[in-house]
Amino acid sequence: MVGSDSAAGHVLVVGSTMIDLVAYAQRVPEAGETVVGDRFQMGFGGKGANQAVMASLVGAGVTMAGAVGDDSYGQMTLQNLGSFGIDTGHVHVVPGPSGVAPIWVEQDGTNRIIIVPGANEGLTVAMAVEAVGSLADLSVVVGQLEVPQAATAAAFAEAGRRGVPTVLNPAPAAALEPELLRGTDWLIPNEVEFSVLAGGAQPDDDALVAYAEHTGTRLLVTLGGDGVALVEVEGKVSRVPADLVEPVDTTGAGDAFVGAFVAGLAAGLDEMSALRLGMTCAGESVTRPGTQTSFPSGERCREILAACS
């Protein structure tokens, strides 16, 4: 199965799973208005699951730590993750509904998303720590903010004790608990999330450097069609432009970037090569509709990885 070979490094994703309920329309409705949509698509999502799938497609061994509900959506989610070669032994089934994400996508590919976490809130500190401790060949631990911060913080702390790097995608944007930030090596927000976290600052070079110094983390900010800004170790900001593509649906592009980036780190790429791997995978994803269904194939991902190595 794709991603089952841990020779390319092993990634633990501590994060969410969702069922995406996607409506495509020429425009979104105003308050109190109903519009007729063009089409509907149901798919698999959740920032954690998306990143796990992308990392697996690139070739990393991937384990997922999370929680799904005891409903049909939960069983469908486990089957989907397994189809990508992802180890679901630490995805726990808890009472209640699984997470869902109603998504609106406009004609230009812009999306608006509401997440309802559901069972994702059931991931505990003990579950997360157990997942980290169970993996002897662990290369990277990645988390987001769609599961309890305490669980991710505990996983990151355990990873730190083992000398394993950690990556936090702080999405959806929220105030970061000190324990979580202390355990984070890499922080990867998009430009909107960066502004929320940095008190309204725009991602110019001075603000990026200041925030990286404030958090004590490596900082990498995704800028949509403008590419990526990386604060390097010596405090210089490098900006890498995005490939020019015709966007169809930007849903999941950030997750494609993060999943490919951490897979690149796990495979031993330097940070700039891992960044370019993430950008290429994300850029290709926006040219197709859907979330995980928009990601490049495993074969294509291996081609991209080889080109970035």
What are the residue numbers of the active site? 255
| Long-range contacts of residues 69-75, Cβ cutoff 8 Å, at least 24 apart | 69/93, 69/94, 69/95, 69/96, 69/97, 69/98, 69/99, 69/118, 69/119, 70/94, 70/95, 70/96, 71/96, 71/97, 71/98, 73/19, 73/97, 73/98, 73/100, 74/98, 74/119
Instruction: For residue 153, give the 3-state DSSP assignment.
Output: helix
Compute the distance between CA of residue 111 and CA of residue 119 in angstroms, rounded to an integer: 24
β-strand pairing of 166-168 with 186-187: parallel
Encoded tokens for 302: 């291996």
Compute the distance between CA of residue 150 and CA of residue 288 in angstroms, rounded to an integer: 35
Encoded tokens for 228: 């990526």
